Structure 1
């Protein structure tokens, strides 16, 4: 028995309203945790890129101002 055969006799509101609401109720916590993990990962990635860029900026600023010591 296929899923399409099960939903054939059902009204439209069961297919498009009740089934998604039940799916969200059952898997809502899982979906929220996956979305939270992805957002947290993106935040950490952006934060690390910003910190590395700031470090590169500071190092270049100090090394360019102290060129009198010679190149390594």
Structure 2
């Protein structure tokens, strides 16, 4: 790979090749990034819902233990 770029100017290696890669794989990169962000958001919602459920159950269990048993 090094010998391919050895006779080329610096801008071919550092500007032209990344731009071509972004044009060719841009849709794929965008869909992967969108999928990861969506997954992280769903994970955050899941953690918040489970945490809220645990909070509510503990609050209910603490309140029911102080009352007389049914």
Q: Provide TM-score, normalisation by structure 2.
A: 0.88
Provide the aligned C-alpha RMSD in A. Answer: 1.1
Question: Residue 10 of structure 1 aligns to a residue in which SS?
Answer: coil
Where structure 2 has 5 or more consecutive residues not aligned to the other structure, the ranges are none
Number of residue pairs matched by the alignment: 68
- 1:11-68 deviation digits (Å, cap 9, x = unpaired): 0111110010000110111111111111111111111010000001011111111112
Runs of 4+ aligned residues of structure 1 deviating over 4 Å after TM superposition are none
2:4 aligned with 1:6:
yes
* Residue 10 of structure 1: how far off its partner (Å): 0.4
Residue 62 of structure 1 is aligned with which of 53, 60, 63?
A: 60
